A and B are shown apart, each in its own frame.
Chain A
Amino acid sequence: MTTHDTTIDPSIDPAGYHRGLIPEVVHHEPATKPVKFYQVGSFAVGNRLLPLEVRSVQSDPNRTNALTSGHRACQGCGEALGARYALDAAMHAADGKIVAVNATGCLEVFSTPYPETSWRVAWLHSLFGNAPAVASGVAAAYKAMGREDIRVVAQGGDGGTVDIGFGCLSGMFERNDDVLYICYDNEAYMNTGIQRSGATPPAARTATTQAVGDEPGNVFGQGKDLPRIAMAHEIPYVATASVADLRDLEAKVHRAMSMRGARYIHVMVPCPLGWGTAASDTLQIARLATQSGIFPVFEAEYGEVVASSPIRRQVPVEDYLKGQKRFAHLFKPKRRDDVIARMQAQADRNIRRYNLLPQGGSPDAPEATEGSL
């Protein structure tokens, strides 16, 4: 059953961590467990079927609407969706006492065109590359003023997080500053017109890794896996999440908010514009990413993986790739089985690394492409 666990796990004591008493990491169940209603043959479960106390924050008519309507994101924007769920969940967890710090990027630009703002939380934007440090400053101020009831959430896209803001992020992690940083990863610089970032996957077409030449798209062997880098800092909490499973995202924000110290959530947010997908396919593409294993969904505490969300119906990576124009060159004019196989190998490595198929399974399983995704 999905729960919003806002109590602090006594085994995870950030204060103890500060004292050097690194707690024993307790492996527990994923933040959400599947709710087994099969009326529609999927996990899509209406809130009306759930008891009141476990319904989503988003279903609450009194939710904050932290990122309220009227903003100027594109249709089907995964980032806008993820940010609304994440910040509403954070507001819920902190009893409305949130300050949000935003890196420059789509989320900042589409939410605050002068003289309007879509933010219904106290919100601060400084620069592209400094959101983690600005958030550290806000947290330090509240600590100094004895207002640690006010919690700090920082957010940015993958460019602001894995590239230009990386130094500040690592510093914030290393100092274990009391900040929840959320990266909305759409795998390129979308605000400036779809250029490659350190989070762009291999083979993907961007404006700076164009689909031309013998090896079109982004090269293999580059890029960084920020959730694992975050784990290497041994901070209290690192999680990945996806807009494909917004309940899981809410739960992870709640989990993170129940802790103190540096916490990091990396959310996959498809970008219809940059990925070349229909606005109506954002969630489906996100789900194919998790169900193929190309985007593993897991949680880690103090540097160790404690839970992962198993793949329910595995699909081949090809199913994920072929729906996106940024990978169209892998299918025509000439099918690139070699490249698709390398992408599949990455997914298979994720599946092994995070134990995403605890009962085994095969990408070629006949039921793999079935079901309501």
Chain B
Amino acid sequence: MRTQIEGSLAVAQAVAACRPQVICAYPISPQTHIVEGLSAIVKRGELPGCEYVNVESEFAAMSVAIGSSAAGARTYTATASQGLLFMVEAVYNASGLGLPIVMTVANRAIGAPINIWNDHTDAMSQRDSGWIQLYAETNQEAADLHVQAFRIAEELSLPVMVCMDGFILTHAVEEVDVPEADDVARFLPPFAPRQVLDPADPVSIGAMVGPEAFTEVRYLAHDRQMQALELIPQVAADFAEVFGRDSGGLVHPYLTEDAETIVIALGSVLGTIKDVVDERREKGEKIGVLGITSFRPFPLRAIEAAIGDAKRFVCLEKAFSVGIGGIVASHVRMAMSTHPIKNYTVVAGLGGRVILKTSLHEMLDKAVTDSLEALTFLDLDTDLVERELARTRADRRSGPAAENMLRDLGTVRAASV
């Protein structure tokens, strides 16, 4: 049913429509509204046969999920930011054990400095965790991806992370056609686990594996992600058949066919980028957009095909690998390894920094003339940075950088200094 609804609540309702049997909940912004929504749904009795477990940490949330999934129950949890990092050991364990847990990551920055606003540093830190990672562009897609995630996870016996931008999506109220339980039942079969704890047929799950087979176990994890490259588009096609709309898949190309410049990004910023590209197209510039929905597995061939004969690509990234630069860009360069083209990494939107159309235009003006720095930090306040660098050069005990810079900005009162 189409309704004006907050992104988090739409996701909560979509997850409920998938009939999860165990939901583990721990609060962290900006994910909290999702588990609050599910709490109300379970408490009202609208999900009979669902256990809602209020745990004591994200580490416990993922651990409870591991136990319940291994026992054969459809399992869901949600987290963000520090919470995702707090559960990392269990995140890797869930994928290593091949447990089809679905988890929302309401993308948020990682501290220090502590920051509750959106970027992709949290999910990107888990790109090697063995989980499938899907990034939602809109709240509609966020809701839809959860329904698809359960199907993908359970088919491959792999966990799936559905990443949606914190606040920008989770807290935005807009029209969403929330998947309904009847339709979901036609799309998502009951959970039939590939491995299960069963006293009538006891197995050991999580046994130790040494050098004699560890490589093979890890290889099979990779192989299942490669299978996901085939499965994800199939699931999206099946979804379109039942629900009548396109959601998910590996990539979302937009005006790429004749494009000389392609801007690549993940998540909600694609909307802003498309507006900018539309404006530039009106002026006759051959520019397109490539949205990556599936970051794990990374669809090398689909991206190579979408880039086609473009002259350059610009990766706009809400995270970066400190000490080297763009994460997505390095992946895309791998996709283009047989015929490399010019490329630029633009780090933007860190810790909730607003990504403005004017800034994007300014950046793209340089990109299309190949005068952009290979690694650019969009709207970086260089004066602020220079003042702090000067302080560190002048004074051994220059103090905490974050507070110094807030003082420079007047956010922290300078009186005490």
- List residues of chain A with CB under 8 Å of any chain B CB: 96-99, 101-102, 108-109, 112-115, 117, 119-127, 129-130, 133-146, 150, 167-168, 170-171, 174-175
Quote the shortest CB–CB distance from A364 to chain B (angstroms).
Answer: 47
Which residues of the other chain, A, contact B68 by a CB distance below 8 angstroms? 137-138, 140-141, 144
Taking CB atoms, residues of chain A closer than 8 Å to B210 are 113-114
Indicate with 1 or 0, residue by residue over B352-367, a CB within 8 angstroms of chain A CB atoms: 0000000000000000
Nearest CB of chain A from residue B87's CB, rounded to whole Å = 9
Beta-carbon nearest neighbor of B97 in chain A? A126
Tell me which residues across on chain B come within 8 A of A134, comparing CB atoms: 63-64, 66-67, 70
Q: How far is the CB of A174 from chain B (nearest CB, A)?
A: 7
Does the CB pair B66–A130 fall under 8 Å? yes
Nearest CB of A to B337, in Å: 36
- How many residues of chain B have a CB within 8 Å of chain A? 44
Question: What chain A residues lie within 8 Å of B75 (beta carbons)?
Answer: 137, 141
Identity of the chain A residue whose Cβ is nearest the Cβ of B24 in the assembled complex? A137
Q: Which of B51, B66, B72 touches A126 (beta carbons < 8 Å)? A: B66
Complex contacts, A142 vs chain B, CB 8 Å: 71
* Chain A CB within 10 Å, residue with most, of B55, B65, B201, B206: B206
With A123-B205, A175-B54 known as contacts, the answer to whether A140 contacts B63 (CB < 8 A) is no
Are B206 and A125 in contact, with the CB atoms below 8 A?
Answer: yes
From B22, B54, B69, B213, A114 is in contact (CB under 8 Å) with B213
CA separation between A120 and B204, bound complex, in Å? 8
Which residues of A have CB within 8 Å of B60?
Answer: 130, 133, 136, 167-168, 171
Interface string of B206-225 (1 = CB under 8 A from A): 11111011000000000000
Q: List 25 A-B contacts (CB under 8 A).
A: A97-B199, A99-B71, A114-B207, A122-B197, A122-B203, A123-B203, A123-B206, A124-B67, A125-B205, A126-B66, A126-B97, A126-B206, A127-B89, A133-B60, A133-B64, A134-B63, A134-B67, A136-B53, A137-B22, A137-B53, A137-B67, A138-B68, A138-B70, A145-B71, A168-B60
- With A137-B65, A137-B70, A140-B64 known, 12 other A-B pairs at CB within 8 A are A101-B67, A112-B207, A112-B208, A114-B210, A124-B205, A126-B97, A130-B90, A136-B63, A136-B67, A144-B22, A168-B60, A170-B56
Alpha-carbon gap, A115 to B204, bound state (A): 11
Nearest chain B residue, comparing its CB with the CB of A97: B199
User: Are A140 and B202 in contact, with the CB atoms below 8 A?
Assistant: no
How many Å lie between the Cα of A134 and that of B61 in the bound state?
9
Q: In the assembled complex, which residues on chain B have CB atoms less than 8 Å from the CB atom of A108?
A: 208
**In contact, B90 and A98 (Cβ under 8 angstroms):** no
Task: Assess whether B197 is in contact with A124, with CB atoms less than 8 Å apart.
Answer: yes
Assess the B63–A130 pair: CB atoms within 8 A: yes
B198 close to A (CB within 8 Å) = yes
CB of B59 closer than 8 Å to a CB of A: yes
Q: How far is the CB of B346 from chain A (nearest CB, A)?
A: 38
Residues of B within 8 A of A122 (CB): 197-199, 201-203
How far apart are A251's CB and chain B's nearest CB, in angstroms?
A: 23
Residues of B within 8 A of A145 (CB): 21, 49, 71-73
* Chain A residues within 8 Å of B198, by CB: 122
Q: Please measure, in the bound complex, the distance between the C-alpha atom of A142 and the C-alpha atom of B70, giving whole angstroms.
A: 11
Establish whether residues B59 and A133, one from each chain, have CB atoms under 8 Å apart when the complex forms: yes
Residues of A within 8 A of B59 (CB): 129-130, 133, 167-168
Q: For residue A68, give the distance in angstroms from its CB to the closest CB of chain B.
A: 12
Q: Are A141 and B22 in contact (CB under 8 A)?
A: yes
- Majority-rule SS of A interface residues: mixed
Which residues in A have their C-beta under 8 angstroms from that of B65?
Answer: 137
Assess the A137–B199 pair: CB atoms within 8 A: no
B204 partner residues in chain A, CB cutoff 8 A:
112, 117, 119, 123-125
Q: How far is the CB of A336 from chain B (nearest CB, A)?
A: 41
Which B residue's beta carbon lies closest to that of A128? B89
Q: Complex Cα distance A97/B207, Å? A: 21
Task: Please determine whether B49 and A146 come into contact, CB atoms closer than 8 angstroms.
Answer: yes
Minimum CB–CB distance from B219 to chain A (whole Å) comes to: 15
Which one of A108, A126, A143 has the highest number of Cβ atoms from chain B below 10 Å of its Cβ? A126
> Which of A97, A117, A136, A137: most chain B CB closer than 10 A?
A137
Question: How far does the Cβ of A120 sit from chain B's closest Cβ, in whole Å?
Answer: 6
Q: In this complex, what residue of B is CB-closest to A114? A: B209
CA distance A98 to B197 in the complex (A): 10
Is there contact, CB below 8 Å, between A114 and B71?
A: no
B335 shortest CB reach to chain A, Å: 35
**Segment 209-264 of B: residues with Cβ below 8 Å from A:** 209-210, 212-213
Decide if B404 is an interface residue (CB 8 Å cutoff).
Answer: no
- Chain B proximity of A161: nearest CB distance (Å): 14
In angstroms, Cα B47 to Cα A141, docked, is: 14
A140 touches B51 (CB 8 A): yes
CA distance A215 to B204 in the complex (A): 45
Contact A150 B199 (CB under 8 A): yes
Q: Is B57 an interface residue (CB 8 A)?
A: yes
For the complex, give the distance between the alpha carbons of A171 and B21 in Å: 20
C-alpha spacing A99/B68, complex, angstroms: 12
- The CB with the most chain A CB atoms within 10 A, among B56, B65, B197, is that of B197
Which of A124, A133, A144 has a CB less than 8 Å from the CB of B70?
A124
Q: Complex Cα distance A186/B68, Å?
A: 30
6 nearest A-B pairs in the assembled complex, by CB-CB distance: A137-B67, A171-B56, A125-B206, A133-B63, A141-B73, A141-B71
CB-CB contacts of B106-129 with A at 8 A, as 1s and 0s? 000000000000000000000000
A138 to B99, CA, bound (A): 13
Which chain B residues (20-62) contact chain A, with CB distance < 8 Å?
21-22, 24, 49-51, 53-57, 59-60
Please, how many angstroms separate the alpha-carbon atoms of A12 and B93 in the complex?
38
Contact present for A127 and B53 (CB under 8 Å): no
Task: Answer whether A140 and B22 are a contact pair too, CB < 8 Å, given A114-B210, A114-B213, A126-B90.
Answer: yes
Closest beta carbon of chain A to B2's beta carbon, Å? 31
**B90 contacts across to A, CB distance below 8 A:** 126-127, 130
User: Distance in Å from the Cβ of B200 to the closest Cβ of chain A?
Assistant: 8
Q: How far is the CA of A122 from the CA of B204 in the complex (A)?
A: 6
Q: Evaluate contact between B21 and A141: CB separation under 8 angstroms.
A: yes
Which B residues touch A171, using CB under 8 A?
55-57, 60
Nearest B-chain residue to A113, judged by Cβ: B208
Beta-carbon contact of A124 and B206 below 8 Å = yes
Complex Cα distance, B204 from A109, in Å, reads: 13
By a CB distance below 8 angstroms, the chain A residues around B24 are 137
Give the complex CA separation of A275 and B56 in angstroms: 35
Given contacts A126-B206, A145-B49, are A115 and B213 in contact (CB under 8 A)? yes
* Complex interface: chain B residues within 8 A of A150 (CB): 199
Cα A136 to Cα B63 in complex, Å, equals 9
The reply to whether A99 and B64 form a contact with Cβ atoms under 8 Å apart is no
Residue of B22, B67, B197, B199 with most chain A CB atoms under a 10 A cut-off: B67
Question: Which residues in A have their C-beta under 8 angstroms from that of B54?
Answer: 175
Q: Would A99 and B199 count as touching, CB distance under 8 A?
A: yes
A136 neighbours in B (Cβ, 8 Å): 53, 55, 60, 63-64, 67
Does the CB pair B64–A143 fall under 8 Å? no
Shortest CB-to-CB span from B199 to chain A, Å, is 5
Contacts of B208 in A (CB 8 A): 108-109, 112-114
Residues of B within 8 A of A113 (CB): 208, 210
